[in-house]
């Protein structure tokens, strides 16, 4: 699959690297330094290159949006037409200093994104784990028990593709329902962040749901 990365920071850089290592063709875009993008592409050890956001998006089967909430408008403007594309978003609607959600209860970052690109198929995924755990999850992908990863969206075909990508990273995808469920997954991501960054075990934290009684 061809995957365009819009926002090549902690999340986009690592997820793009894992996607490339899993055999996908990745284009890294949207960082403040071209050198950083080149380095990511070089170190990905796979089919990875760099481009402008428009170049990353144009030929992509899937696009990963991994920018700060306040950069949505800018990156979308640079990416151009995303009609018909699967747009995965891991972005959380944080204030400028990343201390609080600025959208919640009646909407979510994922829904606000979908309103801006109504002809794209938005799926919210990867926002509930810290970037620090991604390489570890990928390295452990052949183990019998995988960590869970919740995702949600309104388009069933887009969700099937998203689930495949989630599996490629090493998670067990958990379909949480329509996109409006991001109203719950986004605050849940802050709980995970709290445990990862202020808890005792360090930030390489993932989670797993288990059902009992069956
Ligand atoms: N980090 C996590 O563990 C985590 C977990 C869950 C969800 N999230 C969410 O995921 C999203 C991305 O988070 P992140 O931690 O990956 O953020 P980040 O490391 O700051 O990455 C954002 C990317 O956007 C680029 N960027 C920012 N301003 C730009 C500008 N003016 N022009 C061009 N590029 C610009 C940054 O460039 P540079 O590379 O040059 O800085 C970087 O590549 C956020 O919405 C966050 O809330 C993050």
Residue whose tokens read 């990905």: 44
% of the chain with per-residue pLDDT over 90: 98
CA distance 170 to 210: 17
Mutate to test the pocket of ligand 1, among 4, 6, 10 (most ligand atoms within 8 A of CB): 10
The first and second tokens of residue 136, run together, are 């570890």
- pLDDT tens track for 38-83: 999 999 988 999 999 999 999 999 999 999 999 999 999 999 999 9
Question: CB of 29 closer than 6 A to ligand 1?
Answer: no
Q: Which atom of ligand 1 is nearest to the CA of 33?
A: 40
Q: Answer yes or no: is pLDDT of 126 > 90.
A: yes
pLDDT value, residue 82: 98
- pLDDT tens track for 80-118: 999 999 999 999 999 999 999 999 999 999 999 999 999
Sheet holding 47-50, edge to edge: 47-50, 25-29, 2-6, 62-65, 86-89, 121-124, 148-153, 172-175
CA distance 101 to 165: 27
What torsion do the CA atoms of 96, 98, 99, 104 make, to the nearest 10 degrees?
90
Compute the distance from residue 210 Cα to the ligand 1 centre, in Å: 31
pLDDT value, residue 95: 98
Q: Answer yes or no: is pLDDT of 214 > 80.
A: no
Q: Answer yes or no: is pLDDT of 206 > 80.
A: yes
pLDDT value, residue 141: 98
pLDDT value, residue 212: 95
User: What average pLDDT does the segment 124-148 reach?
Assistant: 98
């Amino acid at each position: 699959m061809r995957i365009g990365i819009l926002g090549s920071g902690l999340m986009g850089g690592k997820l793009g690297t894992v996607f490339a290592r899993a055999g996908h063709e990745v284009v890294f875009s949207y960082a403040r330094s071209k050198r950083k993008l080149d380095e990511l592409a070089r170190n990905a050890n796979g089919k990875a290159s760099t481009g402008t956001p428009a170049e990353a998006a144009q030929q992509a089967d899937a696009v990963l949006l991994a920018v700060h909430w306040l950069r949505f408008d800018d990156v979308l403007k640079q990416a151009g037409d995303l009609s018909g594309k699967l747009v995965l978003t891991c972005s959380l609607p944080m204030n400028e200093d990343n201390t609080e959600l600025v959208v919640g209860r009646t909407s979510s970052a994922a829904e606000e994104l979908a309103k801006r690109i109504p002809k794209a198929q938005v799926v919210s995924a990867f926002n509930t784990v810290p970037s620090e755990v991604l390489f570890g999850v990928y390295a452990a992908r052949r183990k019998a028990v995988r960590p869970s990863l919740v995702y949600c969206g309104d388009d069933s075909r887009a969700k099937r593709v998203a689930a495949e990508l989630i599996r490629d990273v090493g998670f067990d995808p958990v379909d949480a329902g329509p996109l409006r469920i991001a109203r719950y997954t986004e605050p849940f991501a802050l709980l995970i962040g709290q445990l990862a960054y202020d808890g005792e075990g360090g930030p390489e934290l993932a989670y797993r749901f288990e059902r009992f009684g069956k």
